[in-house]
Each structure stands twice: as structure tokens, then as C-alpha cells.
């Protein structure tokens, strides 16, 4: 697998003309631009934003493979492993490549790190409606036009503003996707709660640590960031917040039963530190575990 430090190295691997700028580039492709007879595996030192409809072949980043025929956007962060295998486009597609060194001093330097979809898996790509495709393509062509124009002191600022709009629209469209897949998110929430219950029951028979977002996501076969965003869209709370609420709920039940002391309950729930458990309990409930126990039993 290759590691591309320069955008020009990816251009060369894809067989497209060298970039106009060493730290930023766009690449546009029609159906015939990809012959479906190449395999490219790499990790970039830059962000990659792509739109495509695959006629054949597959692409992979993270741990999963994408071979969907619907129009979708993908977001690859720096140093993430990427694979294109025998890709043929159903229609037109594009890639936008943004080196990290292109961003210092711009509004996107901090903003781009806030978009969780750069940490999604490939099968969690953004699927666009026809109207949404039009918006994204209009922004892409605005970026491409500025990219190919003679560079002046405003070129970078204009490109950044279009990129910022594209990323914000992607955020909006992902929220729409979560809403439209409410049945999926409801199913995920149910499975998430079932996994927490199973994890607690398992800890009653053998010692295991606290359930983590990463562990729950792995069992649900989705990325931690996607799980958090999916659950937040459904419940208004992150995956970690839901884990904490579950643990506090179990703690309340155990305290109400009165058979175990705070230290024993903390250990049973998987906390290595009783102080941390007590602090979390007080934050969520408003009283300490001992105060809650005394109030309930008295």
C-alpha cells in the first residue's frame, strides 16, 4: 500500500493530469474515465471528498467495502487507508483533495475537524437525493472554476467559502438521512440497549470493564462516530451519555435493593475507581450514591 504525502502522487496513480496547486486539487471524471481495470490502495496525507455512482468495482476505507450504485458522497480523513478496485463510474464523479497545510489561517482549519462524517465507515456514505445532488454539483463546479482560473489574492478565500458551504450542506443532508432512516436508527437504539443489558449481565458472572462506545459500535458493525450521531439524532443524547444513563439506572436499582455498598456496586458496574462512579452518579442524579440509598431506604 502506498502512502501519498503529495496530492500530485494520487493524481499520478489515478492517471489524471498534475494538480494546479500543490496543496489543493479537484479531479472530474465521466463514465469512460475509469476503465475498471485498476487497483489502487493508499493512505493520503490529505482530506479527500468524493462523489460517485459506481457502475462496477468497489472502494473501501475504514474496515468496510462500498459497492452501492446510488449517488453518494464519501469523506476520507488524512492517513486513512483507502482502496479503489476496478472502479467504473455509472455517471460523472469528482474528487476534491485538500492537504492539511492548505488550511492554516482559514476558517476551515478548525471547522473541518468538527465534521464527524470524516470518521464514518465507507458503508455509512451520504446518499443524495436528486435535489441534493444539484446543490453539491453547483458547489463543485464553482470550486473547479475558481481552481482553474488565474490565481489571485482572493482565489483561496473563495475556494474555502465554497468548501465550507459543501461541508455544511453535507452535515444537513446527513441529518436528513438519519431522519429518513428512523426505522434503522430505532432498531439501532434497541440493539444498543440490548447490548448494554447483556454486558451488565455478563459482568455479574465475570469481571469485565465498563462498556465503551467503541465496543458497542464494533458489536453493531458501525463506526463509533456514526453510532453517536445516529443515536443523538434519535434521542438527543450521545452514545456515551446513553451508556452513563444506563449505568446510573442500574446503580439506582442496586442501591434501592440495599444489599451492596457503594464500593461493591461500583465494582459490579465495571468502574475501576469508586470516586469516579460517585462523581458521575452525583452529576446525573444530584445526590451522592450514599445519600440516594439513605433517602430510598428511609
For residue 141, give the H/E element and its range.
Answer: helix 130-148
Local confidence pLDDT in tens for the 298 residues of the chain: 788 889 999 888 888 888 889 999 998 876 555 554 577 788 888 999 988 866 555 666 555 555 444 558 888 888 888 777 766 666 688 989 999 999 998 989 889 988 888 877 666 778 888 899 999 999 999 999 999 887 778 889 999 999 999 999 999 998 887 766 555 545 677 788 888 888 887 766 666 678 899 999 888 888 888 888 888 877 778 899 999 988 988 888 888 888 889 999 998 888 888 999 999 999 988 889 988 888 766 6
Q: What is the CATH number assigned to the segment(s) 2-180?
A: 2.60.120
Q: Would you call 223 helix, strand, or coil by DSSP?
A: coil
Query: Does residue 277 contact residue 266 with C-beta atoms inside 8 Å?
Result: yes
CATH 2.60.120 residue ranges of the chain are: 2-180
User: Three-state DSSP class for 4?
Assistant: strand
pLDDT at residue 67, rounded to an integer: 45
169 contacts 133 by C-beta, under 8 angstroms: no
Per-residue model confidence (pLDDT) at position 57:
56
pLDDT confidence of residue 285? 87
Q: How far apart are CA 103 and CA 146, in angstroms?
A: 17
Q: Please, where in the chain does CATH 1.10.10.60 lie?
A: 183-297
What pLDDT shows up at residue 298? 65
183-297: CATH architecture: Orthogonal Bundle (1.10)
Specify the pTM: 0.65
- Pairing state between β 24-29 and 39-44: unpaired
Crossing angle, helix 213-220 and helix 182-205, to 10 degrees? 120
**C-alpha distances in Å from residue 129, one per residue of 164, 174, 287:** 20, 11, 49
Amino acid at each position: 500500500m502506498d502512502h501519498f504525502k503529495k496530492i500530485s502522487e494520487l493524481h499520478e496513480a489515478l492517471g489524471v493530469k498534475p494538480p494546479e496547486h500543490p496543496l489543493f486539487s479537484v479531479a472530474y471524471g465521466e463514465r469512460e474515465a475509469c476503465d475498471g481495470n485498476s487497483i489502487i490502495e493508499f493512505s493520503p496525507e490529505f482530506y479527500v471528498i468524493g462523489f460517485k455512482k459506481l457502475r462496477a468495482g468497489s472502494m473501501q476505507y475504514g474496515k468496510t467495502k462500498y459497492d452501492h450504485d446510488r449517488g453518494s458522497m464519501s469523506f476520507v480523513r488524512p492517513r486513512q487507508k483507502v482502496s479503489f478496485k476496478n472502479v467504473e463510474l455509472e455517471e460523472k464523479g469528482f474528487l476534491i483533495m485538500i492537504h492539511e497545510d492548505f488550511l492554516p489561517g482559514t476558517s476551515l482549519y478548525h471547522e473541518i475537524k468538527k465534521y464527524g462524517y470524516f470518521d464514518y465507515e465507507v458503508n455509512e456514505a451520504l446518499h443524495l437525493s436528486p435535489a441534493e445532488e444539484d446543490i453539491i454539483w453547483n458547489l463543485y463546479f464553482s470550486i473547479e472554476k475558481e481552481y482553474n482560473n488565474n490565481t489571485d489574492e482572493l482565489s483561496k478565500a473563495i475556494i474555502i467559502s465554497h468548501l465550507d458551504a459543501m461541508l455544511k450542506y453535507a452535515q444537513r443532508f446527513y441529518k436528513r438521512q438519519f431522519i429518513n432512516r428512523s426505522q434503522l436508527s430505532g432498531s439501532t437504539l434497541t440493539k444498543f440497549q440490548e447490548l448494554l443489558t447483556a454486558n451488565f449481565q455478563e459482568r455479574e458472572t465475570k469481571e469485565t470493564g465498563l462498556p465503551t462506545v467503541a465496543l458497542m459500535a464494533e458489536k453493531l458493525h458501525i463506526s463509533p462516530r456514526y453510532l453517536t450521531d445516529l443515536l443523538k439524532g434519535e434521542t438527543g443524547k450521545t452514545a456515551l451519555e446513553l451508556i452513563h444513563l444506563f449505568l446510573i439506572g442500574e446503580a439506582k436499582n442496586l442501591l434501592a435493593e440495599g444489599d451492596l455498598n457503594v464500593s461493591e456496586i461500583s465494582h459490579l458496574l465495571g468502574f475501576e475507581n469508586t470516586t469516579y462512579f460517585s462523581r458521575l452518579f452525583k452529576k446525573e442524579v444530584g445526590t451522592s450514591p450514599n445519600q440516594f440509598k439513605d433517602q430510598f431506604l428511609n
